[in-house]
Structure 1
Amino acid sequence: MTALAAPDSDAQLVSRAVDDLARSTRFPVVFGGLETEGSVHVTAIAGARSHAIDDLVVKVGRGLGGAAMIEKRPRLALEYRTARTITHDYDRAILGEGIATLFAVPIVTDGRARGVLYCGSWSQAPVGDLVARPAFRAADAVGTELRIRDEVQRRLALAPSPEAAAGLTPAAKEDLRESFAELRSIAATVDDAALRQRLAAVEQRLAAVARAGAGTGDSDVQLSPRELDVLACCALGSTNAEIAATLSLKEGTVKSYLQAAMAKLDASTRHAAVARARRLGILP
């Protein structure tokens, strides 16, 4: 794996995707990058035999990858050298690496193309569904992760300061509670350590607002992450079945977590548990 200069964790995300795709695809060379100011900057390469594609920058709309970005669909050049449906701005890099067949899959988030993953072969190679599927999965995974990161950043920017807690309207408090519950459900599905840290930063900020608004002293009640996930969903009025679907748990497991949280909070019902958690500043 050749890891080039990475400006941020998003580039590291692409690097991991390229590594994983290189292990799961039949293509010998895999590379990719994200779009910045109208161009895709290749920041990760796996399997290359030369340095021809190092630092490759592809303008949106140009070349195979640029066309995939514009069309928001995969593009294939079975015989790249003679392909007539693309521009050949990047022949020096692609042919310099000796690539004969090139497959480009755009990374799409909420209808916007954010980058491209490329798979190349040094000989002409057919690309059926079985061969293409790992690239589709990899691009979808990166797109999903980017969408989560965007949402985390948006919520972090909108989260009120603890000083502003006292002035929150009932509607604003409800939005805060929904944000907290949604972030807990997102965090339950995230493996990336850097993204988990960003999620935790938002949650801590929301919890600080909750504590400021509660006006209650410190509590020795300690809920486990999963107990907090379940209670946060309960605060939105979700049933056990709905919580199970949201958190990808069995309904019986949800019930167990809820009962444990209720015991710690000395509450006989879920509503009482939510109310006490809010008074203690555990929930917003």
Structure 2
Amino acid sequence: MEVRVSRVLRPSDDDALRAELRRLHPRTELPVLFGGCVDDRSLTITGYVGTRSNILRNLKIDAECGLGGRAIAEQRPGAVQDYANSSHITHDYDYEVGTEAIESLMAVPIVVRGVTRGAIYGGLRANLPIGDVIAETMMRSSYALAREFEIRDEVDRRVAMLDTAAVEHGSNRDAQISEGLTESVLALGEIAANLEDMALSAQVLAVEAKLRALASPNPSANTPVANTVVLSPREREVMGYVALGLRNAEIAERLSLSVETIKTYMRNLMGKLDVRSRHEAVVEARRQGLIL
């Protein structure tokens, strides 16, 4: 069996940025907002709210050039009042900024795992400082986008494992492949639960289902074991993390539960599986096909 997952699973990051700019606009009351994603140290502006012309459309901002370029290179927010006369930035984009009558400007980078992936800008058409409240609101939007991009990256990484898993299906997978599949199924479930985009969440869950089916024992290989134990979705999650070798405290952190709750789940699981140790629980759960 060959499983192929279309790379259209990942929506456009530019769309996510544009949506965040629309949400940000009423929260800051800034007259103009814009931004874009970084590709090879160059940012292309693709999102706009409140602009009066097309002058910023698809404008490329080079790293270290202008306020945004400096934010990209330094990976920290920056703001200037009286943009045209500021001595703290280069003035490569004075014409574009001036055409939009922007006098004060703030740029906030979107940083994911140490890499600048984009930036959002907020501007005032007046020679006034951009206050701390507005700055904090823009930074929260930057963090939200960084988290969204990180989740999408993780989905892409997990989906890429399907090709490897497809080759291994029907053969004797080694422990590393089995562990990777288990981790992927659990992670995809967590990712889907954290996504605000319901369509993307549904697609992630569909990938999870394909991966779970792919990792199931080959029905033609051996006589299947009768499934006499039924686990709840949460018990299956806990058991999956136990199979990965996580301690109770680590499982609790992953699932946002208390350690005592995890201990209760473990007592119930050992009772259901009729075992006395975590290792025996993993072996029995795998034997019955309850986990990967």
Match of 1:161 among 157, 165, 174: 165
- Aligned partner of 2:132 in structure 1 is 129
- Aligned partner of 1:210 in structure 2 is 215
Is the deviation greater in 196-205 or in 137-146? 196-205
Tell me, in whole angstroms, the C-alpha distance in 1 between the residues paired with 2:172 and 2:150. Answer: 31
Aligned Cα RMSD in Å? 3.3
- Aligned partner of 2:63 in structure 1 is 60
* CA deviation vs aligned residue, 1:84-132 (integer Å, no higher than 9, x gap): 2322222232211111111001111111111110011111222343321
- Aligned partner of 1:3 in structure 2 is none
Task: Give the direction of change, closer, same or farther, for the CA distance of 1:283–1:162 in structure 2 (3 Å limit).
Answer: farther
* CA deviation vs aligned residue, 1:33-72 (integer Å, no higher than 9, x gap): 1012442122221233444323333222322111111111
- Aligned partner of 1:184 in structure 2 is 189
TM-score (norm 2): 0.78
Alignment check: 8 A CA contact 1:14 1:33 kept = yes
> Which residue type is aligned with residue 48 of structure 1?
T
Unaligned runs of 5+ in 1: 1-6
Higher Cα Rg, which structure: 2
Tell me, in whole angstroms, the C-alpha distance in 2 between the residues paired with 1:8 and 1:187. Answer: 14
Tell me, in whole angstroms, the C-alpha distance in 2 between the residues paired with 1:281 and 1:33. Answer: 46
Q: How does 1:266-277 map to 2 (within 5 A)?
A: 267-268=273-274, 275=283, 277=285
> Which residue type is aligned with residue 245 of structure 1?
E
TM-score (norm 1): 0.80
- Aligned identity (percent) is 37
- Aligned partner of 2:108 in structure 1 is 105
Is the deviation greater in 25-34 or in 216-225? 216-225
- Aligned partner of 1:236 in structure 2 is 244
> Which residue type is aligned with residue 165 of structure 2?
S
Task: Give the direction of change, closer, same or farther, for the CA distance of 1:245–1:92 in structure 2 (3 Å limit).
Answer: same
- Aligned partner of 2:77 in structure 1 is 74
Alignment check: 8 A CA contact 1:207 1:282 kept = no
Tell me, in whole angstroms, the C-alpha distance in 2 between the residues paired with 1:170 and 1:233. Answer: 15
Is the deviation greater in 133-142 or in 159-168? 159-168
Alignment check: 8 A CA contact 1:162 1:212 kept = no
Tell me, in whole angstroms, the C-alpha distance in 2 between the residues paired with 1:283 and 1:228. Answer: 7
